Amino acid sequence: MQNTEQAGLRLGLCGWNGSQRAYFADFDCIEIQSTFYDPPALTVARKWRASAPPGFQFCIKAWQLITHAATSPTYRRLRSPIPASERDSVGSFRQTDQVWQAWQRTLEIARIVEARVVLFQCPKSFMPTSENLVNFSAFVRRVERDGFRLAWEPRGKAWTADIVRDLCAEYDLIHCVDPFEAMPVHGDIRYWRLHGRDSYAYRYTDADLTALRHMLTKEPQPGYLMFNNLSSKADALRFRQLG
């Protein structure tokens, strides 16, 4: 396992994608995805941390009850469905007990794995309305930051660069992006997630990976480069071989 040549930039995947032993041999960081769908038992998180080699870094994706409305299809993966009486109390950073309890569970996992970044990925349906901006601001002001940074991935054209920059600057958030879609407007470290160009099934070409290398070297910055497409492992390993 080797780092990319840029000092402080780590290469990993969104999810294990194979055995953990093989993953640890190939990469030096990971973004845990199961924490978004339904956080695992704390014993599982402890095993992850104990199994990881020295220097390996974890990032985790915050539970969807914080960011996504109960109408999201991703809720199908919850082991215990949200009661009908609570479906309007989750998602969109609402100032409810349900959202705050979801954060407390996310925080437990983050502490156990010694996460370096906790990512809030928002759906395109989360727009910069007055209500959403108030709830978002109240939430990020309140959260504990126990040794980790917060990254935020807004989606949709309604989130203009000015809005995102102002919020990230005010609350010390890392602006998370897919670099083939947009460039970050704030953050002293990089957090790039590569979702596949136009499709999760997209396989990055050699030309794509060369262009990605140029984007990284144009403005050197420490951080994380996470592949999140169907062929993520193969593409990430090819990217590293470019040298």
pLDDT higher than threshold 90 for residue 49: yes
For residues 33-61, average pLDDT = 97
Residue 2 lies in a domain: no
How far is 176 from 233, CA to CA, in rounded Å?
20
**Predicted local distance difference test score (pLDDT) of residue 220:** 82
pLDDT higher than threshold 60 for residue 54: yes
Residue 4 lies in a domain: no
1 pLDDT band, cuts 50/70/90, is very low
Residue 74 lies in a domain: yes
243 pLDDT band, cuts 50/70/90, is low
For residues 222-228, average pLDDT = 97
**Predicted local distance difference test score (pLDDT) of residue 30:** 98
Helices (H) and strands (E) in the chain, counts: 9, 8
Residue 139 lies in a domain: yes
Mean pLDDT, the chain, rounded, equals 94
The model's pLDDT over 135-189, given as tens digits with 9 standing for 90+, comes to 999 999 999 898 999 999 999 999 999 999 999 999 999 999 999 999 999 989 9
Which distant-in-sequence residues (6+ apart) come within 8 Å of 13 by Cβ? 23, 27, 30, 31, 226, 227, 228, 232, 233, 236
pLDDT higher than threshold 70 for residue 65: yes
Residue 3 lies in a domain: no
2 pLDDT band, cuts 50/70/90, is very low
The model's pLDDT over 85-104, given as tens digits with 9 standing for 90+, comes to 999 999 999 999 999 999 99
Q: Which residue has the tokens 């990881």?
A: 52
Torsion (CA) 173, 161, 157, 78 in degrees, nearest 10? 0
> Could you give the number of structural domains in the chain?
1
pLDDT higher than threshold 70 for residue 4: no
- Residue-range definition of the domain harbouring residue 51: 9-241
Helices 130-142 and 97-113 cross at an angle (nearest 10°) of 40
CATH (domain of 38): 3.20.20.410
Q: What are phi and psi of 128, to 5 degrees?
A: -80, 60
- Structural tokens at position 144: 């504990």
6 pLDDT band, cuts 50/70/90, is low
pLDDT higher than threshold 50 for residue 45: yes
The angle formed by the CA atoms of residues 97, 103 and 107, to the nearest 5 degrees, is 140
Q: Please say whether the dihedral angle defined by the alpha carbons of residues 23, 226, 35 and 55, taken in this order, is positive or negative.
A: positive
202 pLDDT band, cuts 50/70/90, is very high
Residue 66 lies in a domain: yes
How far is 90 from 68, CA to CA, in rounded Å?
7
How many CB atoms are closer than 10 A to CB 24? Answer: 16
On the CB side of 120, how many CA atoms lie within 13 Å of its CA? 25
- Structural tokens at position 62: 């915050």
For residues 189-218, average pLDDT = 95
Residue 148 lies in a domain: yes
The model's pLDDT over 14-29, given as tens digits with 9 standing for 90+, comes to 999 999 999 999 999 9
For residues 39-46, average pLDDT = 97
